[in-house]
Amino acid sequence: MQATGTGTAQLPRVVQQLPRGRGQAKGENDMGRGKRASDRGAGPTEVRQPALLRILQARDVLLEVQGTVFLADLMELPFREFYLILGMDWLVKHWVSLDCATNRVILRTEEDNDVVVI
């Protein structure tokens, strides 16, 4: 796959938690009264080593599914568990239907034909 551009970003050294909302009692959170959130990670988190994030993007990549070609904007991610992650905008544009009970994915083409992936 040919990427059309690359970019780099420096990750922040400290990640600040959002302040607690007004009216919350001590030890209370949005989960409801009496349910206390874990104290782990409740304050600023320090990143021990600065990291460099490399992002490769490819626009209008031809994605062939069951002999039908779709256009997709792809981004290379540093995950090894996934072959491809399609965004919600792309799924909505192609009227994708996920049927978890039967392990099927149905995509709709511009000509209003269904492409079924099992």
Residue 15's pLDDT band (boundaries 50, 70, 90)?
very low
- Tens-place pLDDT, residues 39-97: 555 566 666 666 666 667 888 889 888 899 989 888 877 777 777 778 888 889 889 99
E strand intervals along the chain: 5-10, 14-15, 45-46, 52-65, 68-76, 97-99, 104-108, 114-117
Single-letter residue type at 48: R
In the chain, how many H helices and how many E strands? 1, 8
Overall average pLDDT of the 6-20 stretch: 47
Domain ranges of the chain: 56-117
